[in-house]
């Protein structure tokens, strides 16, 4: 016997709230018109929305109930049109009412029907605005009475929106997590800024005490810092002298809530444990606890990770011209083979990089074996967002965002927020795009535009100048469904094989 699929508790809450809101509005009526037909039409939309919510509750979760709930949203849109077409208050009051109404349409649609929410919003907004412009002047009640009705209606809608926001539904929770995350990233950047100079000297006008330790059991000889050569989400990178050799020192700072989200010691130990020709090697690390003597300043932690020096900079600086044929194509495949090999090693250790971009691939000089060979090797770096998968676990719930241009569709869409190794494969595909075409992906789009582009199912396309098999591997890497993407091992096999077209 087939068991019934019940609505989520959050969906039931929203439908119960819909019953309350439609009943309240039916009782309140609409005071801006004394025409019986208008009042009857308004109450009819309230009754229609009530029936749709009631039917959704009684039918349990199925395609029919979803369609009925969608019809309920359309009826609610028609009610908004009717109200706008006979509005008797000012433009400001109408804007407030419409803002509340569209907030309900967006959040209610996300919970109840889960897709095509943007079309519902556009349908409601367009119709309401046109009806407002074509409205007939009416003043059947006093202004104060009209405003009382408006306040009551707005209150009902706000109760509805508030209930939806705190319903716990996965789409709403995911949206709130992303907004909280973006807020925390902005706050973190502001907090790190005042401390940036403390890496090389004590800030003027401030005092702090610190204690150094070498959890790795190192010699205790601190590297001598020189120039700042880069900045990341968790700190800065300096050129340095360490044991009479040039090195890079990554200095990260954590304080307050950041210490709860990221473990700096885990970051350092992870870097030390990864040994591979296509990964930036870490030699040693030091940690210190810092405490300011100024009142109100919370303590913070610094960790210095000493890494090998990569003298050729980042891959981003190399991607300046197209390389879609001949020698350029062969060099591009060599670069992608290096990156895929490093990625394969990480995945073999059950590690997901999570932020694989051209700025996180460093170039180090090497002796070339011939005039057609590259004179550098690519090394993947920056495990600031790396995730370690525990035994038996294949996915992780994301708690941090990587670079949006390299973020796969499954992390942008609201229906899936789990990170797998295939997220790194998608990022390799984006790197292939940049290396081949010599330009940044989504170069003319802002971050929100990139999110909308990817979430709508659209994809980047390689130029026709690239060989067909290269275009195919790019399409495979950037497939919308993670399961359709190749593994890192398969990418290594593809990019390492000889190809007459790139000879």
| Predicted confidence (pLDDT) per residue in 156-174, tens digit | 666 656 665 555 555 555 5
Q: Which residues contact 189 (CB under 8 A, 6 or more apart)?
A: none
**pLDDT string in tens for the chain (503-residue length):** 344 556 667 777 778 877 887 888 888 777 777 788 888 888 888 898 888 888 888 887 777 887 888 888 888 888 888 888 887 777 877 888 788 777 777 777 777 776 777 787 888 888 888 888 887 665 454 455 556 666 666 676 666 566 655 555 555 555 555 555 445 444 444 333 333 333 333 333 334 444 555 555 455 567 888 888 877 656 788 999 988 889 999 887 776 655 555 666 776 777 788 889 999 998 888 887 777 666 666 777 788 889 999 989 899 988 888 888 888 999 999 999 999 999 999 999 888 888 899 988 999 998 766 666 788 999 998 754 455 544 444 444 444 456 788 888 888 775 555 678 999 999 999 999 999 999 989 888 888 888 888 888 888 999 888 999 999 999 999 998 899 999 999 999 999 886 655 55
- 330 marked among binding-site residues: no
- The 8-class DSSP code of residue 292 comes to E
Per-residue confidence (pLDDT) for residue 163, from 0 to 100: 60
Q: What sign has the CA pseudo-torsion 157, 10, 414, 411?
A: positive
Using alpha carbons, select from 75, 30, 28 the residue that is nearest to residue 49: 75
Domain with CATH 3.30.200.20 in the chain: 224-308
Is residue 254 within a helix (H) or strand (E), and if so which, with residue range? strand 245-255
Per-residue confidence (pLDDT) for residue 425, from 0 to 100: 95
Query: Into which CATH architecture does domain 224-308 fall?
Result: 2-Layer Sandwich (3.30)
Per-residue confidence (pLDDT) for residue 146, from 0 to 100: 57
Fold of 313-496: Transferase(Phosphotransferase); domain 1 (1.10.510)
Q: Which residues contact 95 (CB under 8 A, 6 or more apart)?
A: none
End-to-end CA distance of the chain: 63
Give the CA count within 13 Å in the CB-facing half-sphere of 481.
2
Distance between CA atoms of 159 and 107, rounded to whole angstroms?
A: 13
CA distances from 31 to 78, 92, 102 (A): 17, 18, 21
Per-residue confidence (pLDDT) for residue 397, from 0 to 100: 40
Q: What is the pTM of this model?
A: 0.57
Distance between CA atoms of 105 and 413, rounded to whole angstroms?
A: 19
Per-residue confidence (pLDDT) for residue 145, from 0 to 100: 52
Q: Which residues contact 85 (CB under 8 A, 6 or more apart)?
A: 131, 132, 134, 135, 136
């Amino acid at each position: 016997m087939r068991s019934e699929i019940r609505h989520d508790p959050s969906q039931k809450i929203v439908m119960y709230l819909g019953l309350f809101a439609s009943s309240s509005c039916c009782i309140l009526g609409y005071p801006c018109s004394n025409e019986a037909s208008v009042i009857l039409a308004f109450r009819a939309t309230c009754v229609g929305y009530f029936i749709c919510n009631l039917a959704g509750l009684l039918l349990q979760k199925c395609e029919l109930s979803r369609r009925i709930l969608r019809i309920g949203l359309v009826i609610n849109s028609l009610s908004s049109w009717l109200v706008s077409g006979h509005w008797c208050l000012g433009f400001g009051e109408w804007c407030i009412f419409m803002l509340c109404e569209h907030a309900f349409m967006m959040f209610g649609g996300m919970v109840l029907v889960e897709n095509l929410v943007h079309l519902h919003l556009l349908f409601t907004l367009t119709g309401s605005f046109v009806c407002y412009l074509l409205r007939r002047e009416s003043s059947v009640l006093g202004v104060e009475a009209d405003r009382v009705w408006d306040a009551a209606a707005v209150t009902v809608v706000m109760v509805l929106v508030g209930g939806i926001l705190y319903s716990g539904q996965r789409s709403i929770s995911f949206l709130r997590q992303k907004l909280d995350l973006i807020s925390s990233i902005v706050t973190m950047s502001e907090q790190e800024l005042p401390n940036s100079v403390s890496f090389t000297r004590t800030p003027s006008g401030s005092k702090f005490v610190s204690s150094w330790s070498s959890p790795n059991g190192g010699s205790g000889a601190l590297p001598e810092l020189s120039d700042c050569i880069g900045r990341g989400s968790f700190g800065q990178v300096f050129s340095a002298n360490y044991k009479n050799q040039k090195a890079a020192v990554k200095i990260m700072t954590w304080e307050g809530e950041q210490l709860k989200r990221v473990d700096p010691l885990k970051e350092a130990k992870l870097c030390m444990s990864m040994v591979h020709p296509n990964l930036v090697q870490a030699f040693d690390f030091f940690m210190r606890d810092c405490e300011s003597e100024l009142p109100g300043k919370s303590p913070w932690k610094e960790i210095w990770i000493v890494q090998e020096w990569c003298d050729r900079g980042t891959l981003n600086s190399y991607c300046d011209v197209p390389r879609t044929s001949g020698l350029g194509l062969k060099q591009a495949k060599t670069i992608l083979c290096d990156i895929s090999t490093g990625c394969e090693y990480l995945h073999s250790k059950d590690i997901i990089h999570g932020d694989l971009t051209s700025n996180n691939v460093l170039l180090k000089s090497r002796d070339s074996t011939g005039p057609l060979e590259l004179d550098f090797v690519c090394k993947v770096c920056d495990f600031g967002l790396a995730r370690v998968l525990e035994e038996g676990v294949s996915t992780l719930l994301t708690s941090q965002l990587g670079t949006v241009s390299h973020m796969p569709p499954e992390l942008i869409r609201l229906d899936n927020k789990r990170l797998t190794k295939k997220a790194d494969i998608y990022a390799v595909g984006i790197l292939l795009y940049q290396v081949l075409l010599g330009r940044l992906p989504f170069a003319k789009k802002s971050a929100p535009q990139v999110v909308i582009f990817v979430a709508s199912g659209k994809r980047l396309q390689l130029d026709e100048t690239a060989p067909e098999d290269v275009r195919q591997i790019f399409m495979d890497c950037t497939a919308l469904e993670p399961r359709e993407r190749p593994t890192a091992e398969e990418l290594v096999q593809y990019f390492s094989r000889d190809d007459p077209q790139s000879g």
